[in-house]
Amino acid sequence: MKGNEAVAHAAIRLGVDGYFGYPITPQSEILETLMAEAPWKTTGMVVLQAESETASINMVYGGAGCGKAVMTSSSSPGLSLMQEGLSYLAAGSLPCLVINVMRGGPGLGTIQPSQSDYFQTVKGGGHGDYKMVTLAPASVQEMSDFVGLGFELAFKHSTPVMILTDGVIGQMMEKVKLPEFRRRRTEEEIRKQCPWATLGKTPDRKPNIITTLELDAHAMERININLQEKYRKIEESEIRYQEIDCDDMDYLIVAFGSAARISQKAAELAKAEGIKVGIIRPITLWPYPSDIINQYASKVKGILTVEFNAGQMVEDVRLAVNGKVPVEHFGRLGGIIPTPFEVVSALKQKLIK
Amino acid sequence: MVNEIIIAGFGGQGVLSMGKILAYSGLMEGKEVSWFPSYGPEQRGGTSNVTVILSDNVISSPIVSEYDIAIILNQPSLEKFESQVKPGGILLYDPDGIHRPPTRKDISIYKVDAMAKATEMQNQKAFNMIVLGGLLKVKPIVDLEHVMMGLKKTLPVRHHGLLPMNEKAIITGMEIVEEIK
Amino acid sequence: MNTSIVDPKNLVYAKPELMNDNQMHYCPGCSHGVVHKLIAEIIDEMGLREKTIAIAPVGCAVFAYDYVDIDWQEAAHGRAPAVATAIKRLCPDKMVFTYQGDGDLAAIGTAETIHAANRGENIAIIFINNGIYGMTGGQMAPTTLSKMKTSTTPNGRDTYENGYPLKITDLLAQLEGVCFATRQSVHTAPAVKKAKRMIAKAFQNSLDGKGTSIVEIVSTCNAGWKMTPAGANDWMVDNMFPVYPIGDLKDI
């Protein structure tokens, strides 16, 4: 099953209430699979092809405001259009799941895989001080698993969650074990779980209002402080990463998603040449696993980040390492996928010399 | 045991579906598999390729730098991938559409006249299964029984009547493949 | 003798229960207050308090949620119909309406408006058309009349430069997804009564799943127009009504 298809099947099985999306390569299989599966006939899940990504993300806002489990997906240019909506969702503390199957930019760019929306995603592509929990799957299995994990984190912290992936993971087929079927929550259950949801005012409570507007600057500062407190809590509890062969290494590669898969192969090739390479694969890109990278920094001769971009995550690695060891970046741009060979030669050129 | 395979040709030749059947066959044998296509407009003409990996262990990267097996179905693909076959690896090609045959001496080269045979059988759709048969003869990475199970899994139920034809095409491919010395 | 006006049996008029005591930010003479009151009355009378989910726009009515005690969502500028689409689809038994101004509905949100209507979303759209951007200080709106002076057309709207007044309700009435399109006003007591009936009908259509309803209220913005409230009403009748004539455009 393709990564994109796995997302669609997982969403239906997990009892997601609604998906709103607009076609764009390389992620259209998500919408196509959902339409073919027609879950509105089985689980009652709403699937709608919107008129634009702008509309999709605002539909997600409407659904999330009702406490429903709602999601959308797109690829890089579509995500640029969604940034306004993401800022509103974050400001409104609304839980939802957004998937970006990245392709090469800038501009209309290419439809080939890329990781060049890292900054946009983890540094906040929309306006204002906000953060988005960001999960980076590296396999079709994780594409499926992170739908469940994404919603779990979204509702736990009442905040939008992003699955940041790329055309490699979206388009490739691998074995996958889909989640068990789970029914959708009833309105009563949603009212209990999300007492803030706009589902119609009952006599026992005040009107629920989902808004991101506050003209009084002092009140707006308070809202911001609350958001930042929530983000610190997420940073304390939700960091996820994978360590591969880190117990005996001379060099460390830090890579996420499909770049981590390619780096793993590169590490195998390097090992055959007698070079000991370990890998840290950040699974959450925000919150970022800075501490573990910092700890390993003192044990290696150098660190290489491998990214399908001009050097974005490398900045977070450098911040984590804080000058302890050289940190270099290797990447291919505009939709070109680096090969494992290229990674090994970059490692030699930039760090081993 | 790992087999890293590239299948490359024109869009519409059944490159992606051949890869898919191979991947599902591996799955039926309990192997780890990955299938990564070149995607986009290439699917509708142009050159198209897919990387299929079958392995007894967890697959690290679905994208590799060099291949154990290359199945080549047009000239541009031969030019791109001949140099990326590992020494001692296999290159299988259909001479139809190849006017400058492969030249490497450190790999095993086979040809399978699949296009000609499919035309002779008056069944263009059998083309990619004939090629697959050729591969299975020179390197039996999956057995025929599992291929048929994989095929059944990838074909929509309404096309299951075509299974015997496909099996015949695979066997034909096994018969006509020949080594180039 | 007891002639206290608070004696219930002497009560002839009361503020609808759903209207709270928050002080409105609308200018004296503005049509918004009247339409808010109508909405509160209708929701009360139709018994829809627990069933209503409303979407507020960006513009003067951005704070609509401060005055009517029902559940509200505040949408991004122009996106109310997309927000309403999802809410109604996910909660099909609710009554869902948007409340939008001309800039919100007919400029920045044109795509969302047309596509929600074209899909025949079972929502009601209350559209306040006063021909101007009130909140941001009186700039040209898509519905601004030809030659009308605004802060961005200080010499009057030149249709050669700025295009023509957009009759978006006429446009929407053409769409198959739209079951009800009407244009009303609230400048006289009879007009208010009529507008109320039309809004109630639009709400009922949302409940009945008949398709999209649009109720345009041709309104005054006496502050933006730089007129007295009464003068603004007269100006509206003389100038707005010829371009935006009152009456039903579609009712099926």
Q: Do A172 and B39 lie within an 8 Å CB cutoff?
A: no
Cis ω on the peptide bond leading into residue A26 (within 30° of 0)? yes
3-state secondary structure of A93: coil
The CATH number of the domain holding residue B87 is: 3.40.920.10
**Does residue A255 sit within a domain?**
yes
pLDDT of residue B44: 56
The CATH number of the domain holding residue A11 is: 3.40.50.970
Reported confidence tier of residue C7, pLDDT bands at 50, 70, 90: confident
In this complex, the residue of A20, A52, A62 whose CB is nearest that of residue C84 is A62
Using alpha carbons only, how large is chain C's radius of gyration in Å?
A: 18
Name the closest residue on chain B to residue A261, using Cα atoms: B61
Phi, psi of A267 (to 5 degrees): -65, -35
Q: Write the single-letter amino acid at B27.
A: L
E strands present in A127-182 = 133-135, 160-166, 173-174
Reported confidence tier of residue C5, pLDDT bands at 50, 70, 90: low
pLDDT of residue C14: 86
CB C97 within 8 A of CB C132: no
**What is the residue range of A328's domain?**
241-352
In this complex, the residue of A63, A209, A211 whose CB is nearest that of residue C90 is A63
Find the mean pLDDT for residues C74-84. Answer: 97
pLDDT of residue C3: 62
In this complex, the residue of C49, C56, C82 whose CB is nearest that of residue A62 is C82
**Does residue A223 sit within a domain?**
no
Interchain CB contact of A54 with C (< 8 Å): yes
Top residue of B39, B59, B66, B154 to mutate, by most chain A CBs within 10 Å, is B39
pLDDT of residue B181: 81
Residues A9 and A101 both lie in one domain: yes
Mean of pLDDT over chain A: 97
**Does residue A217 sit within a domain?**
no
| pLDDT lower than 70: segments of chain B | 40-45
Asked whether this complex has an ipTM greater than 0.85, the answer is: yes
* Tokens (6 digits) for B82: 């001949």
Q: Is the pLDDT of residue A18 over 60?
A: yes
CB C188 within 8 A of CB C174: no
Cα A85 from Cα A72, distance rounded (Å): 12
DSSP summary character for residue A211: -
What are the pLDDT digits (tens) for C117-137?
Answer: 999 999 999 999 999 998 898
The CATH number of the domain holding residue A260 is: 3.40.50.920
pLDDT of residue B94: 96
Q: Is the pLDDT of residue A135 over 80?
A: yes
What are the pLDDT digits (tens) for C179-233?
Answer: 999 999 999 999 999 999 999 999 999 999 999 999 999 999 999 999 999 999 9
> Over pLDDT 70: what percentage of chain A?
100
In this complex, the residue of A25, A167, A268 whose CB is nearest that of residue B60 is A268
- For chain C, list the domains and their CATH numbers: 25-251 (3.40.50.970)
Phi, psi of A241 (to 5 degrees): -160, 165
How many Cβ atoms are within 10 Å of C13's Cβ, its own excluded?
4
Residue, of C3 and C140, whose pLDDT is higher: C140
The helix or strand, by DSSP H or E, that contains position A219, with its residue range, turns out to be: helix A217-237
Find the mean pLDDT for residues C36-44. Answer: 97
How many structural domains compose chain A?
Answer: 2
pLDDT of residue B125: 87
pLDDT of residue C12: 82
Which of the listed residues A168, A187, A206 is the one where a domain comes to its end? Answer: A187
Distances (CA, A) of A211 to A89, A192, C71, C77: 10, 20, 11, 12
Residues A159 and A40 both lie in one domain: yes
Q: Do A339 and B63 lie within an 8 Å CB cutoff?
A: yes
Mean of pLDDT over chain C: 95
Residues A119 and A11 both lie in one domain: yes
Phi, psi of B79 (to 5 degrees): -65, -35
How many structural domains compose chain B?
Answer: 1
Top residue of A43, A48, A58, A82 to mutate, by most chain C CBs within 10 Å, is A58
pLDDT of residue C82: 98
**What is the residue range of B138's domain?**
2-180
Reported confidence tier of residue C10, pLDDT bands at 50, 70, 90: confident
Q: Which chains touch B (3 or more CB pairs under 8 A)?
A: A
Length of chain B equals 181
pLDDT of residue B32: 96
* Tokens (6 digits) for B50: 């897919």
pLDDT of residue B47: 81
What are the pLDDT digits (tens) for A80-115?
Answer: 999 999 999 999 999 999 999 999 999 999 999 999
Q: Do C70 and A66 lie within an 8 Å CB cutoff?
A: no
